[in-house]
Amino acid sequence: MGFRRDELLAHENAVVDDLVDDRCRLLFVGINPSLWTAATGAHFARPGNRFYPALFRGGLVDRVIDASSGMSPTDREVLLGAGIGITNIVARATARADELDDDELRAGARRLEETVRAVGPRVVAVAGITAYRTGFGRRKAATGEQPEDLAGARLWVVPNPSGLNAHETVDTLARHYREAGVAAGLHVHPRRYGGA
């Protein structure tokens, strides 16, 4: 499945619903939806995004999910049943994350706190260090577990799975995601990558 540029641009500023239910123990937080995500209604859906392969390699799900054409009910249940939820710092879709300004990221961080309070996950994993630093005012933050919590949940910053984040691989993403999953108490399958 593919989209023409005008079809994608028709979804600019659209909002994609959170993927959460009352089983959520690990809430992944993207920066904001891509136009592809808005067009399909599925988070991290753009072809080449490494989120779902990294979840599989890290043992958080038992198969690779392909959301590029949308999220099937079966794949949705794989995520939710594993205790995984997905939301974003900023709800509106853009062609690029750098189209968001600092005020939007700060407002999104406040909204995220409300979401976390309502959903009640054990761990929140923000996928993107630069957006986290800006939105939460933590200019020196590094990836990994943060010293503060977020509305009672342990807070992690993990690398963004976008293909634009070229210095991360599926395996390095998998290691970060697995650490957050273990901290959240998720059932983890055997790792599917080499190394610790």
Check residue 196 and give its pLDDT. Answer: 44
The CA-to-CA distance between both ends of the chain, in Å, stands at 36
Question: Mean pLDDT over residues 179-193, rounded?
Answer: 90
Question: Mean pLDDT over residues 18-34, rounded?
Answer: 97
Percentage of residues in the chain having pLDDT higher than 70? 97
DSSP 60-88: SSSS----BTB--HHHHHHHHHTTEEEEE
Q: What is each CA distance from 176 to 14, 59, 75, 79, in whole angstroms?
A: 29, 11, 22, 17
Question: Mean pLDDT over residues 67-71, rounded?
Answer: 95
Check residue 193 and give its pLDDT. Answer: 63
- Nearest-angstrom CA–CA distance, 89 and 33: 9
Provide the pLDDT confidence category of residue 194 given band limits of 50, 70 and 90.
low
- Nearest-angstrom CA–CA distance, 31 and 29: 7
Question: Mean pLDDT over residues 68-76, rounded?
Answer: 96
- Nearest-angstrom CA–CA distance, 23 and 100: 31
Check residue 130 and give its pLDDT. Answer: 94
Predicted TM-score (pTM) of the model is: 0.95
